[in-house]
Amino acid sequence: MKKLLFSVLTFGLSIFPLIPNTFAQDYTQWGLPNGAKARLGKGLIREIAYSPDGKRIAVASSIGIWIYDAQTGKELDLLTDHTYSESVAFSPDGFTLASGSWDATVRLWDVRTGTPLLTMKGHIFRVNSVVFSPDGKTIASGSDDNTIRLWDVLTGMSLQTLAGHTQRIWSVAFSPDGKTIASASWDKTARLWDVQTGKSLRTLTGHEKHLLAVAFSPDGKTIASTSWDRTVRLWDTETGASLQTLKGHTAGGVIAVVFSPDGETIASAGVWDQRVCFWDAKTGESQRILKVHTDDTSSIVFSPDGKTLATASISETVSLWDVRTGKHLRELTGHTGKVRSVAFSSDGSTLASCGSSDKTVHLWDVQTGALLHTLIGHTWEVSCVVFSPDGKTLASASYSADDDTVFLWNVETGTSIQKLKEDTDGIGSIAFSPDGKILASQGVENTLLLWDIQTGKSIRKLTGHPDEIVSVFFSPDGKFLVSGSWDGTVRLWDVQTGTSIRELTNHTERVGSVAISPDGKTLASGSTDDTVRLWDVQTGTSIRELTGHTNNIGSVVFSPKGKILASGSWDNTIRLWDVQTGTHLSTLPGHTDSVTSVVFSPDGKTLASGSFDGTVLLWELTPE
């Protein structure tokens, strides 16, 4: 990773890599970008693979490739040169790892040292699937550019491009003899290809929706394919004839299919129905159903001896199961889903994050990076979290109108202590008043609700925005409330009366985030027009426009003393600005997906950033 050059000393701010002293020498510090002191969470899981000897498990994630000890579950390595790993495969001898990425490349890694060996370029869009040939000399990769490429493992040279599919290719597989490649595409077909000539041998039709996975049986006579139509289809490799259609999944699509090493069993995983189905490979009869813990399964794989099945959840963990008994053996923990919101407690010791599709909130120990509590109660994905001013209570809410409850949690115990419930259109932002007595949230039909924390009752409804409200913030004195809306405006409200005081209209697109400086004089707003604006709270006039981000602004926040503004963007970066002059101080790259939330610690020494890459980065700052 390129070293960041910071030229901000004249502005009173310096950013530097932290010499590890508070964090243990563990995975929270592996592969960090310059300026970051820790990473909480391991990113979203895309695909998993066993090494041929069964001793290691590789996990392709949104921040790189994790290597685990299959017996202990301990982290062994993190390979981070890719921007976003989508697929991973071990070579037959187990010494080399191949990975496909959102950056449209295929990479080879030395498994023993973790060093990158080759980068193969040629695809023009994301690489969704990589696989080694049985002799280990060739790699096949399937891409969003609708093509399959064959690569020479020794040189990294592109050997052939197989074209014929009309939509993205989601999965590729070599036949056991290495002469044929099968591919699954979103064009609702699977294809068989001659490896030697690159010609399409036959097209397998019958699925009603996009295909998601394809696999050969160990003897090469049968092909299994899966689709969003919730079925697994078996095909005769020689003739292309449809043999059977296996039905048993109940929701979403069938994301993955694998044959057991002895070829007697087929396992298929549903992406939403929380089940892995086991089938008799010869008869197609259902053998049993394994209930997995989450509804966002992304990958399954048998261990080389066939005794263990590994299942991966995009937002949670890799789970290992005893194939014979269905017993849950262990988990590879630490992975989280998309992070939508982060918040520091008032003493800076605890960080809250949310957004995972497992409908939970995580509380982290800032000093050690340890996960303290996982808060369970929401029925939909959690969109926002905020601590009460005294730090003893955490409030959380969901985007979904079906989960129209604001939960209040005891931070020390992680237990739910109160539920604020009223009809809403989903809640994207909540805020405590400075005295902790009032909570602001969205209501129905583009309104704001003010809640009495003591009684749990809604005490006032604020109306005026013609479109959805996505951000709310109290003034330091608690007299005003500011809101940002999809209508492109910012509004200031009188908390006592509920009346709209003024409307700020200079943004040209949706306003996604608002904040008021600690002295109450300046308001910041971030928009999908890729700009941040600073406003005079007293007059409502626009002070200046801050430009430089190249995508939506997901979050804005003032430092504790109000001298610095941080903005997080969908361009995957954080920018720091001098509030007085509007000068751009520095850019913090490091996330591999959109930055959705940024927050300063109370002492101003740490900036936390949450991202759709499933992680929270903690950045080390000097006091203002």
Asked whether residue 373 carries a pLDDT value surpassing 70, the answer given is yes
Quote the pTM value.
0.88
At residue 8 the predicted structure's pLDDT band, cuts being 50, 70 and 90, is very low
- The pLDDT of residue 19: 31
Exposed e or buried b per residue across 275-300, where buried means at least 16 C-beta atoms within 10 angstroms of its C-beta: bbbbbebeeeeeeebbebebbbbbbb
Asked whether residue 11 carries a pLDDT value surpassing 70, the answer given is no
Asked whether residue 374 carries a pLDDT value surpassing 50, the answer given is yes
Residue (of 39, 18, 116, 605) closest to 348 by Cα position: 605
Asked whether residue 294 carries a pLDDT value surpassing 80, the answer given is no
End-to-end CA distance of the chain: 27
Domains defined along the chain, listed by start: 344-462 (2.130.10.10)
Dist CA 256 CA 270 (whole Å): 7
pLDDT per residue as tens digits for the range 180-217: 999 999 999 999 999 999 999 999 999 999 999 999 99
The token duo for 26 is: 């563990």
At residue 3 the predicted structure's pLDDT band, cuts being 50, 70 and 90, is very low
The token duo for 27 is: 């995975």
Of all residues in the chain, what percent carry a pLDDT higher than 70? 95
Beta pairing class for 286-291 and 297-302: unpaired
Report CA-CA distances (Å) from 210 to 147, 187, 254, 278, 454. 16, 6, 10, 22, 51
Asked whether residue 451 carries a pLDDT value surpassing 90, the answer given is yes
At residue 623 the predicted structure's pLDDT band, cuts being 50, 70 and 90, is low
Strand partners, 367: none
Dist CA 388 CA 410 (whole Å): 10
Q: Are 423 and 409 in contact (CB under 8 A)?
A: no
pLDDT per residue as tens digits for the range 476-526: 999 999 999 999 999 999 999 999 999 999 899 999 999 999 999 999 999
The token duo for 140 is: 């096949």
- The pLDDT of residue 92: 97
- The pLDDT of residue 622: 76
User: Greater confidence, 21 or 419?
Assistant: 419
Asked whether residue 7 carries a pLDDT value surpassing 60, the answer given is no
pLDDT per residue as tens digits for the range 308-357: 999 998 776 889 999 999 999 988 877 778 899 999 999 999 999 998 76
Give burial (CB, 10 Å; 0-12/13-18/19+) of 7: exposed
Asked whether residue 12 carries a pLDDT value surpassing 60, the answer given is no
SS3 readout for 152-198:
ECCCCCEEEEEECCCCCEEEEEECCCCCEEEEEECCCEEEEEECCCC
At residue 425 the predicted structure's pLDDT band, cuts being 50, 70 and 90, is confident
Average pLDDT, the chain: 91
- The pLDDT of residue 360: 87
Report CA-CA distances (Å) from 616 to 26, 259, 342, 428, 591. 16, 37, 8, 19, 9
Owner of token pair 């939330």: 597
Q: Report DSSP state, residue 27.
A: G
* Range 431-441 average pLDDT: 95
- The pLDDT of residue 317: 80
- The pLDDT of residue 402: 77
* Range 60-64 average pLDDT: 93
Asked whether residue 13 carries a pLDDT value surpassing 50, the answer given is no
Of all residues in the chain, what percent carry a pLDDT higher than 90? 79
